[in-house]
């Protein structure tokens, strides 16, 4: 369950956008729409615990982000929040499988390669487990990013434009995978996008106004 109250997000002391209230029950998804510069990425970074709120509160499963600092926030994020960035954020010296094991380790969880391989199988890329991420196609890399976001069965999966660079078929596949993975751990998807193609999958939608 995600609960947001009187949230102000931004950089340094500059408030980019405000969200007075948002409540998502477990497994409920939300799409974040808005023009370029309206604050979608800033909001997602804040919901991911990577950027401190400038005001208000975020509670995930009853844990208030304002009470989580430094390594406690890092561990909480690793266990509860899966993040899919706009560009690939993998450790290039490690293989696909090693990147997933690192995500488990970083969250203070036991390294479970069976779970990682099963997830890669589910995503149709198990044959790439011993390859370096950059040697994969864009669509395959996207699925590795999804695997890394989902490996610790998070409570919320945050995605920044996860489908915008994909063709129609790959877009459908990725959306389908995200919905299935979220359902498997009763997680909420919070996706920011310009991509009109995925709107129909989301009952709850927020459109951010332009700040300037
Ligand atoms: N690291 C940063 N430091 C200072 N200001 C920033 C930083 N990142 C973004 N901003 C500012 O915050 C505002 C919102 O940016 P943000 O990246 O959240 O928009 P967005 O809705 O994700 O846009 P896009 O659709 O282009 O990705 C912009 O005015 C931007 O200049
Ligand atoms: Mg953005």
pLDDT computed for residue 139 by the predictor: 84
Beta strands 30-34; 156-160: pairing state: unpaired
Phi, psi of 194, rounded to the nearest 5 degrees: -100, -5
Average model confidence (pLDDT) across the chain: 93
Q: What is the pLDDT of residues 20-48, one digit of tens each?
A: 999 999 999 999 999 999 999 999 999 99
Q: How many domains does the chain have?
A: 1
**Cα–ligand 1 centroid distance for 11 (angstroms):** 9
Nearest CA to ligand 1 atom 17: 41
What average pLDDT does this structure show over 162-177? 86
Ligand 1 within 6 A of CB of 34? yes
Tell me the pTM.
Answer: 0.92
47 by DSSP, 3-state: which?
helix
pLDDT computed for residue 85 by the predictor: 85
Ligand nearest to the CA of residue 35, numbered in listed order: 1
pLDDT computed for residue 201 by the predictor: 93
CB neighbour list of residue 153: distance below 8 Å, 6 or more residues apart = 184, 185, 187
For residue 125, give its domain range: 2-208
C-alpha radius of gyration, the chain, whole number: 17
Nearest CA to ligand 1 atom 26: 36
Ligand 1 within 6 A of CB of 209? no
Q: Where are the beta strands (DSSP E) in 99-146?
A: none
Residue 116 CA to residue 97 CA, distance in Å, equals 7
Q: Indicate which CATH number applies to the domain containing 125.
A: 3.40.50.300
């Amino acid at each position: 369950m995600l609960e947001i109250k009187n949230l102000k997000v931004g950089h340094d002391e500059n408030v980019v956008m405000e969200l007075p209230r948002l409540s998502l029950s477990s497994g409920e998804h939300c799409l974040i729409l808005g023009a370029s510069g309206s604050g979608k990425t800033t909001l997602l970074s804040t919901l991911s615990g990577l950027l401190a709120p400038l005001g208000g509160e975020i509670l995930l499963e009853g844990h208030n982000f304002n009470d989580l600092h430094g390594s406690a926030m890092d561990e909480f994020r690793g266990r509860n929040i899966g993040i899919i960035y706009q560009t690939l954020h993998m450790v290039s010296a490690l293989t696909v499988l090693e990147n997933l094991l690192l995500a488990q380790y970083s969250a203070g969880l036991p390294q479970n390669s069976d779970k990682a391989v099963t997830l890669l199988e589910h995503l149709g890329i198990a044959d790439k487990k011993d390859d370096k991420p950059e040697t994969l196609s864009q669509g395959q890399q996207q699925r590795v990013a999804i695997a890394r976001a989902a490996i610790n069965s998070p409570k919320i999966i945050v995605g920044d434009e996860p489908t915008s660079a994909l063709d129609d078929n790959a877009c459908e596949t990725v959306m389908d995978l995200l919905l299935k993975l979220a359902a498997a751990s009763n997680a909420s998807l919070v996706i920011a996008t310009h991509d009109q193609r995925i709107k129909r999958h989301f009952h709850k939608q927020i459109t951010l106004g332009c700040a300037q």
